[in-house]
Amino acid sequence: MDSAQLRQQVAIAVESLIWRIGQSYEFTVVLGSGLSSFVDRMDGQMIVPYAEIPGFPVSTVKGHTSELVAGSIGGHRVLCFAGRFHYYEGYDAATVTIPVRVAQALGVRTALFTNAAGGIADRLRLGDLMVIEDHLNLLTADSPLRGLADEVFGSKFVNMYAAYDPTVTRALKSVGERRSLPIACGVYAALSGPQFETRAEIRMLRILGADAVGMSTIPEVIVANQAGMRVGAVSVITDLATDTVTELSHDQVLATARRADEHLAELLTGVIEGADW
Ligand code: HPA
């Protein structure tokens, strides 16, 4: 997608959303596969199905709801995207990041991304909430900034040295520890999917320094950094992608994600309630 088309799609989405849900939001939360409990904790919910947002793609993956929920947590205004778009659905990287661009236009300064991921590091357990400290972008065939005009969205040479904001990352860890949630931290790697990894690929990821592997989030993190947002992200460990695993399915990923969903909702809620930045 070129800059003009992307700008137009974002503009028509923003225009239609402003009269439905207003603007001046502080936080955006993007919920990954099988994750939806956070929405139940929001006050004053206003729900807009993606299908009713002009310019928005439509999520096609099982386990993903497809709606925007606007509301608040502890007095902070929050835009929650319940359901994301993936590169593996056939969208290009710029398209999957439209929600982040829309959030930016509606005032958002902090983005919290979540996903389901396979655990690679031996210390990780099923249901752990891994705070993402850094990433390995192996979705390199396409960047959400590729080909974009700098005049439209700002410089495409985005500094990714501290892509995950230290203040938000610290808040995620300390809220998790204080509430006795199963918190871990590590490096997230994204591959394009949708097939899961071979045993050799898992060994490769381990050697490269990945602690968990998934198929999303990184394009959104890149765009949120370009937009100057503070970024925090959490992987819910839904399977152990060790090279001894022989059975792994999308249904299994969803089932584990649903079990960890309340923990994730508690973590995100705690971080937003306590935010003083
Ligand atoms: N690999 C890639 N993506 C995933 C996995 C996995 O094991 N689990 C959830 N998303």
Instruction: Report DSSP state, residue 6.
Output: H
Using one digit for the tens of pLDDT, what is the confidence trace for 112-170?
999 999 999 999 999 999 999 999 999 877 899 988 887 778 888 999 999 999 999 99
Secondary structure of residue 259 in the 3-state scheme? helix
User: Cα of 116 to ligand 1 centre, how many Å?
Assistant: 7
- Mean pLDDT over 30-45 rounds to 92
Nearest residue by C-alpha to atom 9 in ligand 1: 117
Which residue from 126, 117, 114 is spatially nearest to 211, judged by alpha carbons? 117
- What's the whole-number average pLDDT of the chain? 91
The minimum-distance atom of ligand 1 relative to the CA of 116 is 9
Residues with CB under 6 A from ligand 1: 116-118, 196-197, 213-215, 238-239, 241, 253
Tell me the C-alpha distance between 71 and 43, whole Å: 6
The minimum-distance atom of ligand 1 relative to the CA of 191 is 2
Using one digit for the tens of pLDDT, what is the confidence trace for 44-72?
999 999 999 999 987 666 656 789 999 99
Nearest residue by C-alpha to atom 3 in ligand 1: 214
Which of 120, 195, 253, 256, when mutated, tests ligand 1's pocket best, judged by the most ligand atoms within 8 Å of its CB? 253
What does residue 239 show for φ and ψ, rounded to 5 degrees? Answer: -160, 160
Nearest residue by C-alpha to atom 6 in ligand 1: 118
Which of 84, 138, 213, when mutated, tests ligand 1's pocket best, judged by the most ligand atoms within 8 Å of its CB? 213
258 confidence band (pLDDT: 50, 70, 90): confident
Q: What residues pair up with 73 in beta bridges, in sequence order?
A: 76
Spatial contact of 141 and 53, defined as CB atoms under 8 Å apart: no
Which residue from 152, 161, 147 is spatially nearest to 221, judged by alpha carbons? 161
Structural domains in the chain?
A: 3-273 (3.40.50.1580)
Total-model pTM: 0.94
The minimum-distance atom of ligand 1 relative to the CA of 241 is 7
Q: What percent of the chain has pLDDT over 90?
A: 74
Which residue from 277, 276, 258 is spatially nearest to 38, judged by alpha carbons? 258
